[in-house]
Amino acid sequence: MKSAKPSSRKPGVSATWLGHSAFRFDTPAGKILLIDPWLDNPKAPAGAADLPKVDVILVTHGHGDHIGNTVEIAKRTGARVYAIHEVALHLQKEGVKTAEGMNKSGTIALEGMTFTMVDAKRSSGIEAGESILAGADPAGFVIRFENGLTVYHAGDTGVFLDMKLIGDLYKPEVVLLPIGGLYTMGPREAAKAVEFLRPRRVIGMHYGTFAALTGTPEELKKMLPAKYKKAVLTLEPGVPVKI
């Protein structure tokens, strides 16, 4: 397993799991970043969507449990929103003037941070009333914070061999992986993803929201090689953790 970065690093990044695949990051420079902010999901803490300030929102794909509360939060706070091109166009039509499109392998640089879009494997239709709109491909994001910490949010995905490439290119220190199963990979597949990515910390997501999402961090630990078992962090919704 990779060792921690040197102690000369600037103050750390705080991660708060908000249930399902939604995360809040508080950065060393005082910015607030949300990923897939479905903040009225069954696991979300009370008032999770009532944020007075948000600087950046990343949306991995077009499903409603990932776009979530993006429109209302972005309109209220003026947060910059990044998503794959077609999802960004949809958000613009919904009145999100700050939505910007990008695509896989593209990188946005913003105020000392970078956001790189990477591949994910599953569907990505946009649920618009009774219609399903084409939502292009699903994606993940590799985020490099102001202090150099690199975090990979895999989005909704199964395991795929190019995770080795993500590990080699971006060397994420912290990885957020879906583990619930059925709609994404479960613990068995996520354990293989950890071997491909070689992080120092692993955080499970997209589990426990509904009865069908049965995977757990404990199952993931059982599936992992010995050297990675202690890398798994089990976050409680609404409780920030320094990563």
Q: Is 23 helix (H, G, I), strand (E, B) or coil?
A: strand
| 170-188 CB burial, b ≥16 within 10 A, e <16 | bebbbbbbbbbbebbbbbe
Collapsed DSSP state (helix, strand, coil) of residue 168: helix
The answer to whether position 1 is within a domain reads no
Count CB atoms within 10 A of the CB of residue 74. 25
From CA 34, how far away is CA 57, in angstroms rounded?
A: 5
Summarised one tens digit per residue, pLDDT across range 32-64 is: 999 999 999 999 999 999 999 999 999 999 999
Percent of the chain with pLDDT over 70: 95
Question: Please, which residues have CB within 8 angstroms of residue 221's CB and are 6 or more apart in sequence?
Answer: 229, 232
Task: Give a yes or no: residue 130 inside a domain.
Answer: no
User: What value does the mean pLDDT take over residues 140-156?
Assistant: 98
Q: pLDDT per residue over 75-105, tens digit each?
A: 999 999 999 999 999 999 999 999 999 999 9
pLDDT digits (tens, 9 = 90+) for 212-225: 999 999 999 999 99
Does residue 127 lie in a domain region?
no
DSSP codes, 109-163: EETTEEEEEEE--S---EEETTEEE-----EEEEEE-TTS-EEEE--S----TTH
CATH number of domain containing 117: 3.60.15.10
Token reading at 86: 């077609």
Distance separating alpha carbons of residues 170 and 155, to the nearest angstrom: 16
pLDDT surpassing 50 at residue 2? no
| Residue 161 resides in a domain | yes
Element (H, E) at 74: helix 70-77
Domain carrying residue 166:
14-121+135-235
Number of domain units in the chain? 1
pLDDT average, residue stretch 94-121: 97
Q: Give a yes or no: residue 55 inside a domain.
A: yes
Q: Judge whether 8 lies within some domain.
A: no
